[in-house]
Amino acid sequence: MPVITVSGYLASGAREIAQSVARELRLEFVDQMILVEAARELGVSVAAMEKRDERPSSIGERLASVLGSLMERSAAAGAFDPMSGGGMGLDMVLARTYVEAAELPSGEQRGQLTDERYIKTLTAVIKGIAARDNVVILGRGSQAILREEPATLHVYIAASKEWRTNNLVLHEGMSRQDAGRRIEKSDQNRQAFHRRYFKVEFNSPQQYDLAINAGRINPAVAARMIAVAAAELAPKPG
């Protein structure tokens, strides 16, 4: 099965679709742990990494997201729930590391985090994850980093700003005004991230193999479309 990258703007449904693909194909879903691994390699805090990330958020939001992902992976694998106290497994260790890394005192960091160090390490981490195969990677420039890699499928999830605004209002209880401001800021961050580190336009069709309009295609159908495309790219026996 090829490595699958899924990208999209805030509230486009990219995360939900990527998770659905991972469940359907029984692949590992990778998101926030990219920052954890990169922070560990660089000897800096996750918070320092986040400042350069395409989608900055609070430590609380990041921790809630990564724990949710870890719990889902544990449940899918039949392992213990990392929040239930059923032992100290890998997911719990990773979750604890995430908290510790997110709050690492500046005096414990190894050197200044320059653009060069940041992108070199981010690239190495994402390529290392991709080398394991059987993964779905959410964003963080993975489609640009892995563009020339064989057996990869790069998916872009599109949706109108109105649809995305409605999504935030419905699922996060935000006012339309606040949702609109958050989307505008997030879109600017994501575009700036890709221009700065990869010299590409985030939503350029040349970046992707498949584009899906989440405003018209529901997540389950989108996941099946991606699964079919991935199967086409999978190495054929013999």
Residue 172 tokens, joined? 């996060």
pLDDT tens, residue by residue, 200-230: 999 999 999 999 999 999 999 999 999 999 9
**Which residue, 232, 204, 226, is CA-closest to 17?**
226
Q: Which residue has the higher pLDDT, 127 or 107?
A: 127
The H or E element that residue 7 is part of is: strand 3-8
Contacts of 150 (CB under 8 A, 6+ apart): none
User: What residue spans define the domains of the chain?
Assistant: 1-27+134-238, 33-114
Name the CATH topology of 1-27+134-238.
Rossmann fold (3.40.50)
Residues in the chain: 238
Q: What is the pTM of this model?
A: 0.79
Q: Which residue has the tokens 């390529």?
A: 127
Q: What is the Cα–Cα distance from 71 to 31, expressed in whole angstroms?
A: 14
Tell me, what's the pLDDT at 134?
Answer: 92
Angle between helices 176-198 and 115-131 in degrees, nearest 10: 90
Q: Output the CA angle 126-95-27, nearest 5 degrees.
A: 50
3-state secondary structure of 132: coil
Give 166's contacts (C-beta < 8 A, 6+ positions apart).
none
DSSP 8-class letter at 133: -
Each residue of 90-104: pLDDT tens digit? Answer: 344 444 444 444 444
User: Minimal CA–CA distance to 118: which of 135, 140, 102?
Assistant: 140
pLDDT of res. 88: 35
- Taking the C-alpha atoms of residue 167 and residue 179, their distance in angstroms, rounded to an integer, is 9
Mean pLDDT of the chain: 82
* Partners of 28 in beta bridges: 135
Tokens of 84: 């239930």
Our CA dihedral for 136, 153, 50, 182, rounded to 10 degrees, sits at -100
Q: What is the C-alpha to C-alpha distance for residues 6 and 227, in angstroms, rounded to an integer?
A: 12
Query: What would the pLDDT profile of 172-197 be if each residue is shown by its tens digit?
Result: 999 999 999 999 999 999 999 999 99
210 close to 226: Cβ distance less than 8 angstroms: yes
C-beta separation of 229 from 5 below 8 A: no
